């Protein structure tokens, strides 16, 4: 195994493309090092991207924010402006692992690890975030929901890696929230999760919404029916019930050591309902 720490995006892409064996991109390392320890992967090349220009920066852009791929979740959580615009995303990223893990883990890494249960991913999908992908060719922008291809698999091609994630501007009277279910209060992988982003009109009626679920399918689920269930409503009880039902209907989970199909299906709806209430309140709605 080789360890390289390139200084430019082009060099990083060249190294990753040239290596014939297994490669891993090292950002925070909180997934890669666990995989190394467990012997799940024996890479031939590790490319540490933390020296790339701008990779650790949060930059205001077009009313939104561009979050460098090596920005740790702890750093993200300390940024008051991002937190004010996308509190649900920042909270979701802040739920990943312990304080120690927060000091290293990144949203881009959470996305590329492609676990169905990654906490940042549903919130990013609900937010309509866009990943910037560098590689041998020209950089391209990809909606985050198009990155995961299945458990542990992404749609990134050989030599490609994410350099930043863009959180867009949003209209006034908008709010987002993310909730996950874990058996303890900390340190667990989500058993089911839900993110809701929504916008209200002056009357408190929901005019736009995106609802995403985690840990209930091989990849994060963007549930259009769930959004439809609350658009045009003030999130009254029947709208919440319809939201929960649409979410449960969209679940295709598995039974495993963390939860059952039955449990995940039920709880995904409960979490969506609760997250929607928080998002609604954040948007200025009177629940």
Which residues of the chain form contacts with another protein (CB under 8 A)?
Answer: 1-3, 5, 26, 29-30, 33-34, 36-38, 46, 48, 50, 72, 74, 97-101, 103-104, 181, 183-189, 191, 256-260, 262-263, 266-267, 270
Burial of 1 (0-12, 13-18, 19+ CB in 10 A): exposed
Nearer to another protein, 3 or 143 (CB): 3
Nearer to another protein, 48 or 79 (CB): 48
**Whether 243 contacts 276, CB under 8 Å:** yes
Nearer to another protein, 26 or 89 (CB): 26
CA 166 and chain centroid, separation:
12
**Whether 271 contacts 182, CB under 8 Å:** no
Alpha helices, H only, 164-231: 224-230
Nearer to another protein, 139 or 187 (CB): 187
Helix axes 261-282, 87-94, angle to 10 degrees: 140
CB of 222 to another protein, least distance (A): 23
CB of 170 to another protein, least distance (A): 29
Nearer to another protein, 15 or 85 (CB): 15
CA distance linking residue 60 with residue 71, whole number of Å: 14
Distances (CA, A) of 197 to 17, 150, 208, 283: 37, 24, 8, 9
CB of 285 to another protein, least distance (A): 22
CB of 258 to another protein, least distance (A): 7
CB of 91 to another protein, least distance (A): 13
């Amino acid at each position: 195994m080789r360890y390289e720490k390139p200084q430019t995006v082009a060099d990083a892409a060249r190294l990753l493309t040239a290596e014939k064996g297994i490669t891993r991109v090292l950002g925070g390392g909180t997934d890669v090092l666990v995989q190394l320890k467990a012997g799940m992967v024996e890479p031939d090349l590790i490319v540490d991207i933390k020296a790339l220009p701008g990779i650790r920066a949060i930059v205001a852009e077009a009313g939104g924010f561009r979050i460098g791929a090596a920005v740790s979740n702890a750093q993200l959580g300390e940024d008051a402006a991002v937190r004010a615009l996308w509190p649900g995303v920042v909270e979701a990223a802040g739920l990943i692992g312990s304080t120690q893990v927060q000091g290293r883990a990144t949203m881009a890494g959470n996305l590329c690890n492609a676990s169905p249960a990654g906490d940042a991913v549903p919130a990013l999908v609900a937010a309509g975030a866009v990943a910037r992908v560098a590689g041998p060719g020209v950089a391209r922008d990809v909606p985050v929901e198009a990155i995961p291809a299945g458990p542990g698999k992404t749609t990134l091609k050989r030599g490609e890696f994410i350099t930043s994630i863009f959180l867009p501007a949003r209209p006034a009277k908008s709010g987002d929230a993310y909730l996950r279910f874990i058996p303890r209060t900390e340190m667990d992988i989500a058993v089911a999760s839900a993110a809701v982003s929504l916008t209200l009109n002056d009357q408190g009626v929901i005019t736009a919404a995106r609802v995403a679920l985690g840990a209930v399918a091989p990849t994060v689920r963007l549930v259009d029916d769930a959004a439809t269930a609350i658009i045009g409503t003030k999130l009254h009880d029947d709208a919440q019930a319809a939201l929960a039902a649409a979410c449960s209907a969209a679940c295709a989970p598995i039974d495993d050591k963390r939860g059952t199909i039955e449990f995940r299906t039920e709880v995904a709806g409960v979490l969506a309902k609760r997250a929607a209430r928080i998002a609604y309140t954040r948007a200025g709605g009177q629940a």
